[in-house]
Amino acid sequence: GRDVVNYATNNKGALVIAACGNSNNANWLFPASYENVLSCAATDTFDVRWSQSSYGTTVDLSAPGTYVYSTWVSNAYFSSHGTSFSAPIIAGGAAIVKAHFPQFTNLQIAEQLRVTADIIDTIAANTSTIGLMGAGRLNIYNALTDTLKPSIRIKNSILSISNDTLYISGDFINYLTKSSPSLKVKLYSPSPYLVPIYDSIVLGIMPTYSIVNNSTSPMKFKILPNIPIGEFADIQLNYSDTAYNGFEWLRIYLNNETAQLDTNNITTSINSSATIGYSDAAKMIGSGFTYKDGRNLLSWGGLVVATSNSKVSDNIYGSSGTDSDFVAVNAVQKINSYPEQQRFLNIFNDNNAGFSKNNIQINQYSYAFSNDTLKDIVFIEYNIINNNTSTLSNVYTAFYADWDIGLSNNNKADYNSSENMSYIWPLAGGTYAGIQLMSKTMGNCYNFDNDGSNGSINIYDGFLNFEKWDAMQTSRHEAGISNNGADVSSMISAGPFSIGTKDTITVTYALLAGSYKDEIIKSAKAANLWFFNTTSSKSIMHELEIGLLQNIPNPTSDKTTISFTLSKNEYIRLDIYNIDGKLMKAVVAGELSKGKHSYTIDLSNYNSGVYTYRLSSNKGSISHKIIKK
C-alpha cells in the first residue's frame, strides 16, 4: 500500500485522499495514515467531530460527514454518515483548488486546503480531540482567496536516541508563500517520558519549496527512565509565523519492541512478543522479512506452543485477527555474539492466554551469520521453561509462517523430508522461502491452502485453537496444487515433549530464502551441517557436554566454581541467568585456549533460588543449574 501511494504521489503527481475511518478511536487506519495521503475526518453541522469518526495524529483535515444526501442501493437516495462522505467533499475541494490554481502541484493543493481550514479545536465539544482532527474543517472559499500563508512540513525526519536524549532533525520544506523572518517551529509532546531540552528553532525566511535542514542543531528531549516495552511518544511540531499557525505529528518508539536482524542476505525484525517480521497487524512496527533487499515475503509468522486442543499459546492468526497470548517480559536486545554473527535475546511468557494458558516462559535467541555458507539463513532458538508446579506433558511446538511471495494467491508449497523443511515459491518463478526444523527427529509439516480448498484447514474464516492443534499433528505436504497456485502458508511442528517443573526444552527453527529451489535446499543442507557439525567425528555440543562440570559446591551460600575443558581453541561465552532468564553475570566471552578453565563466582549478593549457567560456542550451548541457599 505504501509503495502504491508513493508511486502515485511522486511519479504520477496524484493527490491521494482517504477516509480516516469510523471507529471512534485514534488507531491508525491505512491507507489514510500513510505519508503522502490527505487523511480526512468527519464533522457534523456544528463543526463538532461526528461521534463515530476516527481521529488521531495522522489526520490532516476534517469535512462534513453527517446527513449527507447521496445515491444509495436499489436506485434510491439516502441520507447517511461517515468519513467516506467527508473524503469526497475534500477531494472535490482539491479539484476546485487545482482548477483555480493550475500551477499548484499535488502537495501544494493539500497544503492550501490545510492552511486555510477553519479552526475547530476551540469548540468546547472538541476538547477531547484537540490536535487530532487535522488542521480544521475544510473552507473552500478561504482556499481560493487566501494565498498569503506559508505551509511548513518536515520531510526525511530523523529521530535518534543516544543514552537518555532524543534528537530530532530533518528537512523543513515550505510548500506555499514565502515566510517572514519570524517563522519558527516549537516541539511539544504529551508523553510523560519526555522532557524538553532544546525544543524550538527559528526557520526564518523560506521561499516557496525552499528547505531548511537542522541536522547540525537538532532539537532535543530528555528521556526519563522506566519506559514500558513498546511505549511510543507522539511529538507535535508547531509552526508559527505572521498570520500563520500549523502543526504536524511525529511518532517514535522509546523502548522499541523490535530489533533488526540484518547481517546477511535476510533482513527481518525480531519482535519482543514472539512474532517475526511485524509486531502489529497494520505492519507499521517491524521491517517484515526480505531477501537481498527485495519485497517483503512474510505476512505473519511466529511460535505456537500447545499441550491440548484448548491449551494453545501463540500470537499468530486467531479466531478473529491475531492472538496476543504471548507478552514481553523484557524488550529484545542485542547480546554478545561470535565472529560473523548477529544475535538477539528476547523473553516472553503466555500470561495473556487466559484459559488457553500453558504457564510457560520462552527465552528466544535469534541469530544469523554473514559468512557465505549461512548467508541465506536465520536461526530462531526457543528455550521453553515450565513455570508450573508439576510436569508439563504432551508439549508440541510449531513455527507458523504465512508467506506471500509476489502475487500471494499464486504461490505453491511443498515439503523436503530429508532436510525437515517446508518451502514456498511463486508460480511465476522467483524467490523461495522456507521453515526448517533443526532436529534429527522428523518434524510434522502442514502446508495450508488458506481459503480451505482441497481439504485444507481454512485460515480465512479464523484459525482456531483446535485447528492449530490438529495442524501440529496432521501432515499435509502440498498446497496451492491448482494450475494457478493459491494463497498458502506453512507450519512445522515438533513434539511431544515433557518438561519438568522449572525445567527447559530447546527447539530451534531456521528461516531460509533463496533465488531458486536448489539454492534454498543447499542452504537447508548447510544449516543442518552447521547445526549438527556432521563434518567432525563428534559435535562441539558433545565436546562441551563432557567438558562442562557441575559447579562445586552445589548448593552454595556464597562462592562456587565452574570448570570446563575445551578440546581445541574456541570462542566461548559463560553466562549466569536467573530463573526468569535475566542475564545476571557475563563471566567470560572471548577466545579461550585448549584445556581446562575454572572460574570462581561470588553469589553472596544473589537471592536464594535456582540459577542457570550456560556455556556457549559458535556451535551451540549447554547449561547446568546452580542452587543458591
Q: Which domains does the chain have, with CATH numbers?
A: 2-145 (3.40.50.200), 152-253 (2.60.40.10), 258-532 (2.70.98.10), 540-628 (2.60.40.1930)
519's grid cell: 539454492
Output 604 or 299, whichever has higher pLDDT: 299
| Range 574-583 average pLDDT | 80
Residue 1: how many other CB atoms lie within 10 Å: 10
C-alpha–C-alpha distance, residues 486 and 427, integer Å: 9
At 348, the amino acid letter reads F
Q: Which of 212-216, 239-243, 617-621 has the lowest mean pLDDT?
A: 617-621
DSSP string, 139-152: -HHHHHH------E
Contact 219, 198 (CB under 8 A): yes
Q: 282 CB contacts (<8 Å, ≥6 apart)?
A: 28, 30, 33
pLDDT (0 to 100) of residue 337: 61
* pLDDT for residue 536 is more than 60: no
* Dihedral of alpha carbons 207, 209, 215, 219, sign: positive
* pLDDT for residue 581 is more than 80: no
Which backbone phi and psi does 279 adopt, to 5 degrees? Answer: -110, -5
| Range 58-71 average pLDDT | 95
Which regions of 370-420 does DSSP assign to beta strands (E)?
A: 377-386, 392-403, 411-416
Q: What is the pLDDT of residues 257-302, one digit of tens each?
A: 899 999 999 999 999 989 999 988 777 788 899 999 899 999 999 9
pLDDT (0 to 100) of residue 624: 81
Contact 315, 325 (CB under 8 A): yes
Q: 14 CB contacts (<8 Å, ≥6 apart)?
A: 8, 106
Q: What is the pLDDT of residues 368-426, one digit of tens each?
A: 999 899 999 999 999 999 999 999 999 999 999 999 999 999 999 999 999 999 999 99
C-alpha–C-alpha distance, residues 397 and 388, integer Å: 17
Q: What is the pLDDT of residues 159-182, one digit of tens each?
A: 998 889 999 999 999 999 999 999
Report percent pLDDT > 70 for the chain: 96
Q: 54 CB contacts (<8 Å, ≥6 apart)?
A: 20, 21, 22, 23, 24, 25, 26, 27, 29, 41, 83
H or E element, residue 200: strand 200-202
Q: What is the pLDDT of residues 76-86, one digit of tens each?
A: 999 999 999 99
Question: Which single residue is written with the C-alpha cell 510449531?
Answer: 398
DSSP H stretches of helix in 72-153: 83-100, 106-115, 140-145
The per-residue b/e assignment along 375-412, b for 16 or more CB within 10 angstroms, e otherwise, is bbbbbbbbbbbbbeeeebeebbbbbbbbbbbbebebbb
C-alpha–C-alpha distance, residues 590 and 513, integer Å: 31
* pLDDT for residue 537 is more than 60: no
Which backbone phi and psi does 360 adopt, to 5 degrees? Answer: -125, 155
If we measure between CA atoms, which residue out of 190, 213, 195 comes closest to residue 203? 213
198's grid cell: 532544546
| Range 96-121 average pLDDT | 98
502's grid cell: 522449572
> Which residues are 363's β-sheet partners?
347, 383
H or E element, residue 532: helix 517-532
